[in-house]
């Protein structure tokens, strides 16, 4: 039995999403580049810009020992011809020192991907994570950790502790990323609908 074109596209997109996480976390930078279109854009708490710059700074961090890992769950895909929106459940795990105490942060959310099929190949045009909830834990349960409550309160609830550890590590964190609810994620859904309806990339990428 032959597979339908729709199912083949869905399988290709799911394969792309999984390759993104495996290749990025493994430091397989040449293959990681293949999941992006040339004009691809990445939005994250600590980085916003074109794919080539994201790959460069990710590689620099990887070589310096920055530990940011990803784990994927289920994917939901909306297809409209050669365009698609894929939402994939994920966790982001980052390890690093917080005021001298080694900690892990785990953030749960979704990758919200704007995808396009060009010359027969699917690629990421824009990846915008949605940050739903997170937590911070010392590696040593007996360690005493006192967070700066004023600093912590300046970050959105969905990625509050992730932003805290990234700030402590010297990153500049974007403070208006989409969460589970609210105007930012509602605007993202509208952008996704516009993408599926054929809007130009420069009207949605930011």
List, for residues 23-67, the tens digit of each pLDDT value.
Answer: 999 999 999 999 999 999 999 999 999 999 999 999 999 999 988
Place of tokens 């799911």: 14
Distances (CA, A) of 156 to 65, 132, 144, 196: 27, 10, 24, 28
Q: Residue 44 has which token pair?
A: 């994250």
Q: 5-195 has which CATH code?
A: 3.10.450.50
Q: Where are the domains of the chain?
A: 5-195
Q: Are 23 and 31 in contact (CB under 8 A)?
A: yes
Q: In this predicted model, what pLDDT tens digit does every residue of 98-145 receive, in sequence order?
A: 988 999 999 999 999 999 999 999 999 999 999 999 999 999 989 989
Least confident of 18-27, 30-39, 165-174: 165-174
Distances (CA, A) of 189 to 54, 72, 183, 184: 24, 21, 10, 9
Cβ-proximal residues to 168 (8 Å cutoff; 6+ apart), any chain = 96, 97, 98, 99
Mean pLDDT for 78-107 is 96
Distances (CA, A) of 141 to 13, 70, 103: 40, 23, 10
């Amino acid at each position: 039995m032959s597979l339908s074109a729709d199912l083949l596209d869905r399988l290709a997109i799911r394969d792309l999403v999984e390759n993104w996480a495996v290749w990025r976390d493994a430091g397989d930078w040449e293959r990681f580049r293949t999941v992006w279109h040339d004009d691809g854009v990445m939005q994250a708490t600590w980085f916003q810009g074109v794919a080539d710059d994201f790959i460069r700074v990710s590689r620099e961090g990887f070589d310096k020992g920055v530990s940011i890992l990803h784990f994927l769950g289920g994917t939901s895909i909306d297809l409209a011809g050669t365009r698609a929106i894929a939402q994939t459940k994920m966790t982001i795990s980052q390890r690093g020192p917080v005021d001298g105490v080694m900690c892990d942060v785990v953030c749960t959310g979704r990758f919200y991907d704007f995808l396009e099929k060009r010359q027969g190949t699917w690629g990421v045009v824009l990846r915008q994570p949605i940050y739903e909830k997170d937590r911070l834990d010392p590696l040593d349960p007996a360690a005493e950790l006192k967070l700066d409550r004023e600093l912590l309160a300046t970050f959105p609830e969905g990625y509050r502790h992730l932003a805290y550890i990234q700030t402590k590590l010297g990153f500049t964190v974007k403070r208006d990323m989409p969460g589970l609810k609210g105007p930012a994620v509602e605007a993202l859904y509208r952008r996704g609908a516009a993408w599926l309806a054929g809007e130009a990339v420069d009207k949605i990428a930011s």
